[in-house]
Amino acid sequence: MTSSLKRRRDNSGCSSVPARTATSSAEDDDGAYADGYFNSYDDLSVHDLMLKDKPRVEGYIRAFEANKERLKGKVVLDVGCGTGVLSMLCAKICQPSQVIAVEATESTARIADALVRHNGLQGIVTVVNRPIEMLDLSAPVDAIVSEWMG
């Protein structure tokens, strides 16, 4: 299955897709909280700690290896991709047709995009800079991965 995700480049150089517009005041009230939450991931030391956590990274590698046949040729969504480590591990180990790596923090999305390119995975991994709630996919995904423990 291939995704018909429409790609376009924004000023940061990251690919993006059309977003839905937030209209309710409840969503606006949550905006300040969301900004603070996402800005916390702008601190690269947070990502450095996660990347240096060998048991954690090895656990992800084992999980991808155990599921590589399931994910081969599929479309995978990485929610809150950070520096893109899960997206790149998935791309290298599982050989999906596409990984959509979504990251809300602009500076971190730029780093993820640069790392994807440095590793030659830009044909598989698309970094999208926006909150997951604002992502509007034009086709379903087959699997979702996420580093939810932060």
- What's the CATH code of the domain at 74? 3.40.50.150
Q: What's the domain count of the chain?
A: 1
User: Is residue 47 in some structural domain?
Assistant: yes
Read off the pLDDT band of 96 (50, 70, 90).
Answer: very high
- pLDDT over threshold 50, residue 23: no
Read off the pLDDT band of 122 (50, 70, 90).
Answer: very high
CA distances, 14 to each of 33, 126, 143 (Å):
24, 8, 22
Rounded to an integer, the average pLDDT of 2-23 is 40
Q: Coil, strand, or helix at residue 88?
A: helix
- pLDDT over threshold 50, residue 76: yes
- pLDDT over threshold 60, residue 12: no
User: Is residue 66 in some structural domain?
Assistant: yes
Q: Which residue has the tokens 């991931």?
A: 41
Q: Single out the residue of 110, 116, 70, 112 nearest to residue 94, CA to CA.
A: 70
Read off the pLDDT band of 115 (50, 70, 90).
Answer: very high
- pLDDT over threshold 50, residue 18: no
User: Is residue 24 in some structural domain?
Assistant: no
Q: Backbone phi, then psi, for 18, in 5-degree steps?
A: -60, 140
User: Is residue 1 in some structural domain?
Assistant: no
**Tokens representing residue 61 in the block:** 């590698």
147 vs 144: CA distance, rounded Å: 10
User: Is residue 3 in some structural domain?
Assistant: no
Domain extent for 124 = 8-19+30-146
CA distances, 49 to each of 10, 19, 83, 106 (Å):
29, 31, 12, 20
CA distances, 8 to each of 12, 40, 103, 114 (Å):
11, 27, 16, 16
Rounded to an integer, the average pLDDT of 17-42 is 44
**Tokens representing residue 2 in the block:** 């291939």
